[in-house]
């Protein structure tokens, strides 16, 4: 029995060692002795489905050729074909399942896997750090660009406000219109200057008189038959368009001993109208100061 098992484990298909006790061929093969004559073919003596009853001189090569051609459909061939089909199927499935996807990791040993995992962890950590740094940088950039945008907006707003004061942009808003009729030609520049001062004191933000913008540097002079405002001669009636709070401006003009009374003493007629929308559209050219420079910055 032990011999049988040994035979089967060494070469799984031995035909009945009990009935073919001599078996010289495997032993001869093992010893690598010179070209052993083909096995004395124990086969012919027994029923032998897998092979032709071979003559004693039949070599292994001839047997192989005989087994391959011509094809014979025998029970043995079919059974072996079935088993080999199973083998081929399993082989192909295994190869296919091994060669797709993470085949690099599939055969790896445990220590390798642990090392790879550690490396991946380290790498993840590094990348996480890098990501945080980059996000921080991005936030800073966004903030700074927001700040820059905000500063730009404020600058534009300030420019508009200053433009209203400097008379370089048109302005509109609530205010009053004051018309001074001067039938006798008695109104002089200082009276108009008083009116302008009074308006400014009452909070006027933009003033124009007869199409001339009144700003900080405006000067008023008498000229024959009228008044010159910044050198532009204007004649009666003098129409002031003033943007400011009407409820402040009108009383400021009408206070006792104020502008209106003074002018009426000179027989000029003054009408003051409140309006919810005054447009001051007379402009002054931007003039760059020759000597004064901004000291901020």
Partner 1 sequence: MIAVLGLVVGVVAGLLVRPEVPAVVEPYLPIAVVAALDAVFGGLRAMLDGIFDDKVFVVSFLSNVVVAALIVFLGDKLGVGAQLSTGVVVVLGIRIFSNAAAIRRHVFRA
Q: Which spans of this chain sit near partner 1 (rule: CB under 8 A)?
A: 8-16, 20, 23, 25-26, 29, 32, 35, 38-39, 41-43, 48-51, 54, 58-61, 63-64, 67-73, 75-94, 96-98, 109-110
Q: For residue 140, which phi and psi values (nearest 5 degrees)?
A: -60, -45
User: Distance between CA atoms of 260 and 254, rounded to whole angstroms?
Assistant: 6
Least distance CB 99 / partner 1 (angstroms) = 11
Least distance CB 75 / partner 1 (angstroms) = 7
Least distance CB 74 / partner 1 (angstroms) = 8
Q: What is the CA radius of gyration of the chain?
A: 58
User: Distance between CA atoms of 276 and 279, rounded to whole angstroms?
Assistant: 10
Nearer to partner 1, 95 or 127 (CB): 95
Going by C-alpha positions, the residue among 229, 216, 234, 213 that lies closest to residue 171 is: 213
Least distance CB 56 / partner 1 (angstroms) = 10
DSSP letter (8 states) at residue 187: -
Least distance CB 3 / partner 1 (angstroms) = 14
Nearer to partner 1, 68 or 292 (CB): 68
- Quickly tell me which residue has 């896997």 as its tokens: 113
What tokens appear for 86 in the block?
């199973």
- Quickly tell me which residue has 């003051």 as its tokens: 272
Least distance CB 143 / partner 1 (angstroms) = 53
Is residue 42 a contact partner of residue 23, using CB atoms and an 8 Å limit? yes
Is residue 260 a contact partner of residue 198, using CB atoms and an 8 Å limit? no
Nearer to partner 1, 25 or 221 (CB): 25
Nearer to partner 1, 66 or 200 (CB): 66
Nearer to partner 1, 15 or 189 (CB): 15
Nearer to partner 1, 23 or 205 (CB): 23
């Amino acid at each position: 029995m032990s011999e049988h098992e040994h035979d089967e484990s060494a070469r799984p298909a031995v035909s009945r060692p009990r009935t073919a006790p001599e078996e010289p061929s495997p032993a001869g093969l093992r010893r690598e002795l010179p070209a052993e004559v083909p096995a004395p073919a124990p086969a012919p003596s027994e029923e032998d489905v897998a092979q032709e009853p071979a003559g004693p001189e039949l070599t292994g090569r001839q047997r192989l050729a005989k087994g391959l051609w011509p094809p014979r459909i025998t029970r043995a061939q079919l059974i072996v074909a079935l088993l080999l089909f199973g083998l081929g199927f399993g082989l192909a499935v295994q190869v296919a399942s091994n060669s797709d996807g993470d085949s690099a990791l599939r055969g790896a040993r445990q220590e390798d896997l642990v090392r790879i995992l550690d490396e991946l962890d380290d790498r993840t950590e590094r990348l996480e750090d890098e990501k945080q740094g980059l996000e921080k940088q991005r936030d800073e950039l966004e903030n700074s660009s927001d700040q820059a945008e905000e500063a730009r907006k404020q600058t534009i707003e300030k420019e508009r406000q200053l433009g209203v004061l400097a008379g370089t942009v048109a302005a509109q808003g609530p205010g009053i219109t004051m018309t001074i009729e001067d039938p006798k030609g008695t109104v002089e520049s200082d009276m108009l200057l008083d009116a302008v001062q009074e308006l400014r004191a009452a909070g006027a933000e933009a003033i124009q008189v007869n199409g001339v913008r009144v700003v900080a540097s405006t000067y008023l002079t008498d000229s024959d038959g009228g008044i010159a405002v910044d050198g532009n001669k204007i004649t009666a009636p003098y129409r002031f368009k003033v943007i400011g709070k009407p409820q402040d401006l009108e009383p400021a003009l009408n206070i006792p001993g104020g502008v209106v009374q003074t002018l009426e003493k000179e027989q000029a007629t003054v009408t003051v109208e409140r309006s919810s929308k005054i447009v001051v559209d007379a402009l002054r050219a931007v003039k760059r100061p020759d000597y004064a420079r901004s000291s901020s910055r």
